[in-house]
Structure 1
Amino acid sequence: MELAYDYPLWRPPSEANSMIFQVTLGCSFNKCSFCDMYRTKEYSERPWDEIKAEIDLMAKIYPDTARIFLADGDALNLSKDRLVQILQYLYQKFAGIERISCYAMPKNLLQKTDDELKDLRTAGLHMFYVGIESGNDVVLKKVTKGATGKSIIQACARARKHGYVLSCMIILGLGGKKYSKEHIADTARVLSEVAPDYVGALTLHLDESLNEEFMTKYGEPFEFIEDVEVLDELERLVQDLRPKTPVVFRANHASNVYSIKGTLPEDRGKILSLVKSLKSHPEMLKPKALRRF
């Protein structure tokens, strides 16, 4: 017997083996022009009785669960008290929990007070997945992200202050051909300042249903970058990313032209050599038909 999920259900690749509880449905913002993850849902917060019943059920079936992901895209939008209630009950029912995580928008982190973030960490919330997408304010505005480079840095700094593990996602190609250099330069700058534990680089692919909205909101003609330009952006990002502490870097999402991973700064040279080789051998890149966002 499994949970009756309200689909579509999304989770980070690294949560593939985690137990997932939908404590919210949809996304309270839901305006990012590149994202269709929750366009079919109205944002809502699930009643405690439903959440509790599902936790009770799964605790009986999978008592040895070690990792839990709180879905949908906006669990941190719940009140601090409701989240603490959920966290405390999870630890009561699953004795072997190693990690509880959720997505977090910059606005979520900024809306919580320092005391609230501290209380949530004390209650056992370990990790946030934060979609940065870009560090460039022009690009962020054009894709209606609802954040700026400065607010992203502030939000992530508050999470780091209270001991959360941070995994940040960025999107190669989001600035198109026109803003490619600014997009990558500012993204590298923001990531260097934030110094997350993990960085995941995806590559822009628009679902057909989003194409018109994306182009309209962008406010000017948008040209997708070619594969070799994706590699150029990846090369510049890896070269310019100078975190204060080591960062696990991944560009192995299904949307990427090639699966690349390493730790920065330790593996910078190895990654750059691989990217250079790929630029000379485009036949090694993943066929476009096999890429998805």
Structure 2
Amino acid sequence: MRYEGTVYRPPSEAYSLIVQVTIGCSHNLCTFCSMYKDKKFRIRQISEIIKDLEAARAHYKSIKRVFLADGNALVLKTQDLKTILKKINELFPECERVGIYSAPKDILRKTVEELKSLNELGLGIAYLGIESGSDEILKSIRKGVTAEEMIEAGRKIVRSGISLSTTIISGLGGAERWKEHAIESARVVNAINPQYLGLLTLLLEEETELYREVQDGTFQLLSPEEIMKETHLFIQQLQVKDCILRSNHPSNYVSLQGILPQDQSKLLLRLEEALENGERYRDEFFRRL
């Protein structure tokens, strides 16, 4: 297998075969993200990708899951993705699921029928970073889409039969917009009703534009207690069905997990207890592991 630069994947793809079908991220403008700043975006040749798959088949006895990297592999033409998925089916008949990072713009460029055809060939889950449901925050972080476009993209994935795993970044609205961030993010999630919802907590990276905004005072970070209040308001506003919520990433100050709506009261109580009892929040060092 050949890899270029640092390779990122969702926590749930820890044991997957990771195959780079793109290098970097075609958008690569988000002010909070430093993941692909060292890469110039390009789509790899299909022949190279197939050689990597063949090398993996020769090396591994069993591959249960495959993850297509880098930042937004769904940017590939549908026919090219079909070629890759067919090769995975041919080489790894034991493979149970293929996952992919999906940027909202790339989803919007595809029809539901195209997405369904990818699902039929084994594309089982797509990861979508909503980040925030506020148009003002999405604009400030240079996400490149509006909240309504994010809803349209998420709904397309859900309608196609591909499972959708979404993320919201706690604290992304800063001290000025924390209520707006919580309420509007819940509104977008409610409109999409994804199968999975993950909460990350904002981590500053020195090479990002958002870091510079914090340094010059134009963006004020939330304290751990304020993050708890924002998270409580967000979860309180959720009206989803059969949605698995996870907030157990190292970046989070406290761990939360449950199925909505049945665990909603339990999750809210956990946050209330953290605030009332003076919770010892996860240390900043460990949040970066």
Structures share a fold, TM > 0.5?
Answer: yes
The total of aligned residue pairs comes to 288
- For 1:25 and 1:102, locate their aligned partners in 2 and report how far apart those are by CA, in whole Å: 14
- For 1:126 and 1:81, locate their aligned partners in 2 and report how far apart those are by CA, in whole Å: 17
Asked whether the equivalents of residues 205 and 211 of structure 2 are also in contact (C-alpha less than 8 Å), the reply is no
Asked whether the equivalents of residues 34 and 214 of structure 1 are also in contact (C-alpha less than 8 Å), the reply is no
- For 2:123 and 2:151, locate their aligned partners in 1 and report how far apart those are by CA, in whole Å: 20
Asked whether the equivalents of residues 174 and 204 of structure 1 are also in contact (C-alpha less than 8 Å), the reply is yes
C-alpha deviation, 1:126, in angstroms = 1.2
- In structure 2, the residue matched to 1:266 is 262
What RMSD in Å do the two structures reach over aligned CA positions? Answer: 1.6
Q: Does 1:12 align with 2:10?
A: yes
Deviations 1:92-146 (A, max 9, x none): 0001111101110110100112332222122221110000000000000001011
Deviations 1:24-75 (A, max 9, x none): 1100000000011101001111112211111111112213111110000121
1:39-50 counterparts in 2 under 5 A?
39-50=37-48
- In structure 1, the residue matched to 2:277 is 281
- For 1:278 and 1:114, locate their aligned partners in 2 and report how far apart those are by CA, in whole Å: 42
- For 1:193 and 1:214, locate their aligned partners in 2 and report how far apart those are by CA, in whole Å: 33
Specify the code of the residue in structure 1 equivalent to 2:189: L
- In structure 2, the residue matched to 1:93 is 91
Gaps of 5+ in 2: none
- For 2:198 and 2:8, locate their aligned partners in 1 and report how far apart those are by CA, in whole Å: 16
Aligned identity (percent) is 38
Asked whether the equivalents of residues 31 and 210 of structure 2 are also in contact (C-alpha less than 8 Å), the reply is no
1:203–1:212: structure 2 CA closer, same or farther, 3 Å change rule? closer
1:167-186 counterparts in 2 under 5 A?
167-186=165-184
Q: How high is the TM-score relative to the length of structure 1? A: 0.94
1:258–1:212: structure 2 CA closer, same or farther, 3 Å change rule? closer
What SS does the corresponding residue of 2:245 show, helix, strand or coil?
Answer: strand
Gaps of 5+ in 1: none
1:238-277 counterparts in 2 under 5 A?
238-243=235-240, 245-277=241-273
Q: How high is the TM-score relative to the length of structure 2? A: 0.96
Asked whether the equivalents of residues 136 and 149 of structure 1 are also in contact (C-alpha less than 8 Å), the reply is yes
Which of 187, 201, 213 is residue 203 of structure 1 equivalent to? 201
Asked whether the equivalents of residues 64 and 95 of structure 1 are also in contact (C-alpha less than 8 Å), the reply is no
- For 1:212 and 1:58, locate their aligned partners in 2 and report how far apart those are by CA, in whole Å: 39
Specify the code of the residue in structure 1 equivalent to 2:247: A
- In structure 2, the residue matched to 1:128 is 126
Q: Does 1:112 align with 2:122?
A: no
Q: Does 1:72 align with 2:70?
A: yes
- For 1:234 and 1:208, locate their aligned partners in 2 and report how far apart those are by CA, in whole Å: 25
1:185–1:214: structure 2 CA closer, same or farther, 3 Å change rule? farther
Runs of 4+ in 1 over 6 A off after TM superposition: none
C-alpha deviation, 1:221, in angstroms = 1.7
1:189–1:292: structure 2 CA closer, same or farther, 3 Å change rule? same
- In structure 2, the residue matched to 1:230 is 227
- For 2:144 and 2:103, locate their aligned partners in 1 and report how far apart those are by CA, in whole Å: 9
